[in-house]
């Protein structure tokens, strides 16, 4: 394996871990869970949760697109170097 292949592999692993972390940080969409657990949501906490959720959703999309572009670029690079 050459140095560019190793670097691209490390970047792919970091991008995959970033997707996993961002997805796990997002909250579920079950609205009645607060009632079951006894957590009362105030108006301000609901708005801050929405802004955090939209931020995480946006970054999930950005990281996912970057991951797929990186995978395609890596495959093209591997194909071109093995010819």
Where in the sequence is the domain holding 59, given as residue range(s)? 44-83
Whether 31 is covered by a domain: the verdict is: no
> What would the pLDDT profile of 28-65 be if each residue is shown by its tens digit?
766 555 445 555 555 555 565 578 888 999 999 999 99
> What would the pLDDT profile of 50-59 be if each residue is shown by its tens digit?
788 889 999 9
Q: In the structure encoding, which two tokens stand for residue 82, read together?
A: 């093995």
Whether 53 is covered by a domain: the verdict is: yes
Whether 8 is covered by a domain: the verdict is: no
| Structural domains counted in the chain | 1
- Alpha helices by DSSP H, listed for 1-83, are 3-25, 33-37, 43-81
Q: Are 4 and 77 in contact (CB under 8 A)?
A: yes
Whether 77 is covered by a domain: the verdict is: yes
Whether 59 is covered by a domain: the verdict is: yes
Whether 72 is covered by a domain: the verdict is: yes
């Amino acid at each position: 394996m050459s140095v560019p292949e190793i670097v691209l592999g490390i970047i792919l692993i970091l991008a995959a871990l970033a997707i996993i972390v961002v997805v796990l940080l997002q909250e579920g969409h079950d609205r009645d869970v607060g009632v079951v657990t006894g957590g009362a949501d105030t108006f301000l906490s609901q708005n801050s949760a929405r802004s955090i959720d939209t931020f995480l959703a946006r970054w999930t999309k950005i990281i996912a697109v970057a991951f797929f572009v990186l995978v395609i670029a890596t495959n093209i690079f591997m194909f071109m170097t093995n010819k």
